[in-house]
Amino acid sequence: MFTEFSAIEGPYLRDIRDQPRALEDTLVGLKNQKTLRTIAAKLHRGGFRTLVLTGMGSSFHALHPSNLELINHGFMAMMVETSELIHYKRQLFDPKTLIIAVSQSGQSAEVVRLLEINRGKSAVIAITNTADSALAVNANATILTRAGEEFSVSCKTYVTALMALKWLTTVLCDRGPEHMRQELKQSSPAVQTYLDSWKQHVRGLAQLLERARHLFLVGRGTSLAAVGTGALIIKESDHFHAEGMSSAAFRHGPFEMLSDETFVLVFEGDDRTCDLNRGLLEDIRERNGRTELVSNDALFGPCKLPAAPKSIQPILEILPVQMTTLALAAQMGREPGRFELATKVTTRE
């Protein structure tokens, strides 16, 4: 097992360790602006029939918690990848549709095409990390994250987007944004508490993942944000194949892949389905499969989440996956997160 950290102590790790600052700065900038209140009031009057939540990559996966919250509040909400929205679901561009678009750059190819096609048909709320981007400038209302410059793989921009989305959803659902601000305030110290032990986490995960060739991340509900983004950043950071899916989907086929070379990271998630997720964990272990549980009371240190309100759990759930990207890179002796083929901003469809 490795003992040398020099291969992974680069700009990607610095971005990961900068997340508490990024969350603090983003929270300071969250305002209950007049334009948002106006859109929220129209939503509650029935002025919008459908809410379309759209993004690409981690920006898309980050939408899961908000999508569920809006549906549970009684709104007709749906998640659609921007690439599908602009080519196959154009009927959704309508005055009765409210679009929530997330893009860290605000200028990816799909977002630019969305703005060209929409041209004022639907109201657009933007969440972006780039104040002068096409998305920020052309949206009806914009929420800026303050992650700062990011080297490559989404980490700061992902957690700050989750924070901004939680704030926006609270405003749209009229659930007391100031109370939510107090809960969101706990995210930065919670993330810092976890990251204070990053070396121990990386060592533990590197040992745990020895001989693993297939990695699955599974969960339900809001945890789908972490499993989707997690699989994506493992592939980006380490050139290591990983799949993210629902715990239920894992039983429908991938369960057959259990072996000494397969590792399954199970996210306990919300109380509503935590017993089902724990049941999957036990079923894997009964078949001598390799697995661990990400939860507040996990026995394995790197998978134990800091105590915090349920509202910020999606922010915390990505942390063990970020440590996994570092552990895999350390095993291979490669710098994590350095793109060789892709680019930070995707400018071609």
pLDDT tens digits, one per residue of 42-90: 999 999 999 999 999 999 999 999 999 999 999 999 999 999 999 999 9
Q: How confident is the model at residue 15 (pLDDT cuts 50, 70, 90)?
A: very high
Q: Which pTM was predicted?
A: 0.97
Is the confidence at residue 327, as pLDDT, over 70?
Answer: yes
CA 165 vs CA 37, 266, 342: distances in Å: 15, 24, 26
Q: Which residues, in sequence order, are CB contacts of 37 under 8 Å at separation 6+?
A: 171
pLDDT at 3 over 90: no
CA gap 172, 178 in Å, rounded = 13
Give CATH 3.40.50.10490 domain extents, the chain: 16-185, 189-332
Cα(277)–Cα(266) distance, integer angstroms: 7
Average confidence score pLDDT of the chain: 96
276-315 pLDDT per residue, tens: 999 999 999 999 999 999 999 999 999 999 999 999 999 9
Residue 343 has pLDDT above 90, yes or no: no
Cα 205 from Cα 87, distance rounded (Å): 41
Tell me the three state secondary structure of residue 8. coil
CATH, range 16-185: 3.40.50.10490
State the Cα–Cα distance between residues 182 and 169, nearest whole angstrom. 15
Q: Which amino acid does the sequence have at 81? A: E
Q: What is the pLDDT of residue 338?
A: 85
- List, for residues 162-173, the tens digit of each pLDDT value: 999 999 999 999
Looking at domain 189-332, its CATH class is: alpha beta
Q: How far from 195 is each of 19, 263, 346, CA to CA, in Å?
A: 9, 23, 29
Mean pLDDT score, 217-237: 98
Residue with tokens 């899916």: 245
